[in-house]
A = this chain, B = another copy of it.
Amino acid sequence: MMKRHIYDCQAGCPVESTLQIIAGKWKSVILYHLFVDHNCHFSDLERKIKDCSHRMLAIQLAELEHDQVIAKIPTNTANRPIYVLTEFGKTLKPVITAMATWGDYYNAHMTKEAQQLDTNEDKKSKLDMPLPKPNLL
């Protein structure tokens, strides 16, 4: 277990190195919520990320913890730890912020398109989307 998508961290592309850490299906989403809320229980994340199953959430959290991106902190309430970003994990903020910013712009544009009843699937509709600007986190 704990194998994962193997990208080549050496030869060349720095994006592959980043993917080695955040490429899990729900990892960047989990990180986004932790940047917003700072600390969450398992059940908090489960509620925020509805499409991620209980099992998947546990796996993704375990991998992020293994990679020192997040840490599990015990609480007085037994068996109900909170998850927080480590200092290392916090260095990923620019990446998650960029993703969140772009996603918001994309949503805003797509929603507007949808309101125009743009039925021709999604052809051409994306091509005039303006550059994202604001910052969220």
Contact = CB atoms under 8 A, between A and B. Distances in A.
A32 B123 CA distance: 24
Contact of A98 (B17, B29, B49, B97): B97
30 contacts: A6-B51, A8-B50, A8-B51, A9-B107, A10-B107, A12-B48, A13-B100, A14-B100, A14-B101, A15-B32, A16-B29, A16-B103, A17-B103, A17-B110, A18-B99, A18-B106, A19-B28, A19-B99, A21-B106, A68-B122, A68-B123, A68-B124, A68-B126, A87-B127, A87-B128, A88-B127, A88-B128, A94-B98, A95-B95, A95-B98
A25 interface: yes
A28 to B, nearest CB: 5
